[in-house]
Amino acid sequence: MAHKTRKRLTKTELKKDPINEALMKGMYYLQDHLKQLIAVGVGILVAILVIQSISSNSAQQANRSMAEYYLASQLYTMGVSNIINYGDFDSGVGQLQAAQQMARNVYRNYPGRIAGKRALILSAKVSIMFGMNSEVVSELQEFLASDPEKELKQAARIHLAIALENRGGTTDYEAAREIYNDILASTEEDSHLAFEAYSGLSRIMYQRNELEGSLENLERAMAIATDTTDFMEYQLTRLELSMN
C-alpha cells in the first residue's frame, strides 16, 4: 500500500492549528517573562548555594568548636598535673590560665554549641581554682537561666554550688546546700554527681559544725567513688593555688 504524504497546512490552517497555537503562546510567554524567569532561576540557585554554604559552615564550626574545647581541656589537665605531680607551679598556673582564656573564647564564639557550653563549665572550674567565685556565680546563674540540656545543667549547678560554698556569704551556704540536695533528688544514687553533692554537703556541714552530718555524707560519697584520684587532684590544686 502506498504511503500517503501528509497534506501541508495553509497559512490560515496553520494559524488555527492548536499545537502551533500552544507553541506560539509559549514563545510569547517566554519573551514577555524572560527577565522574571531568569531572576527566579538565579534566586533559586543563590538559595541553594547559601544553604550549602550554611551547611558547610555549620559543620566546620562544629568541628572547630570541639577541637578548641578539646585543646582547652588538655591544657587544664596538663596544668593540674604539673602542679600536683611535678611541683611545677609556674608552668601549671600558666597552663590553667591559658585553658581558662581559651575556654572563655570557645563559649563566646560558639555559645549555642555543645562544645561552647562545655567550655563554659571548664572555664568555671578553673575560675573556682583561682578564687573567682562571685564571677562564676554570675556566669553560671545566667547560663542556667537559658535552660541548657540536663547533663550540662547538672554540671553547671554543681559548680555553682561549689562557688557559692567557697564565697561563704550569709545565704551562700544555704543556697549551695539546696542545690546539692536537689541534685541528689534528681540523679542516680551511685553517679559521679551524687558523689559531688554528698561531698559538698559534707564540707558545708563541717563548716557549720554539723559534724555527724558531715561524716555521714562523706561516708556516702566515699561509698560511691572509691577511686577519688581526679577529685583529690582538683581539691589539691585549689589548695595549692590558694596558698600561693
pLDDT in tens, the chain (244 residues): 455 555 555 555 545 555 555 555 555 555 555 555 565 565 556 555 555 554 567 778 888 889 999 999 999 999 999 988 888 989 999 999 999 999 999 999 999 999 999 999 999 999 999 999 999 999 999 999 999 999 999 999 999 999 999 999 889 999 999 999 999 999 998 898 999 999 999 999 988 889 889 888 888 888 887 666 666 666 657 656 766 6
Contacts of 181 (CB under 8 A, 6+ apart): 197, 201
Is the torsion defined by CA of 47, 50, 52, 58 positive or negative? Answer: negative
Are 177 and 207 within 8 A, CB to CB?
no
Cell of 32: 514577555
Contact 178, 197 (CB under 8 A): no
How big is the chain, counted in residues? Answer: 244
The pTM of the whole model exceeds 0.85? no
The whole-angstrom separation of Cα 84 and Cα 147 is 35
CA distances in angstroms from 12 to 18, 23, 27, 28, 174, listed in the order given = 12, 16, 20, 20, 99
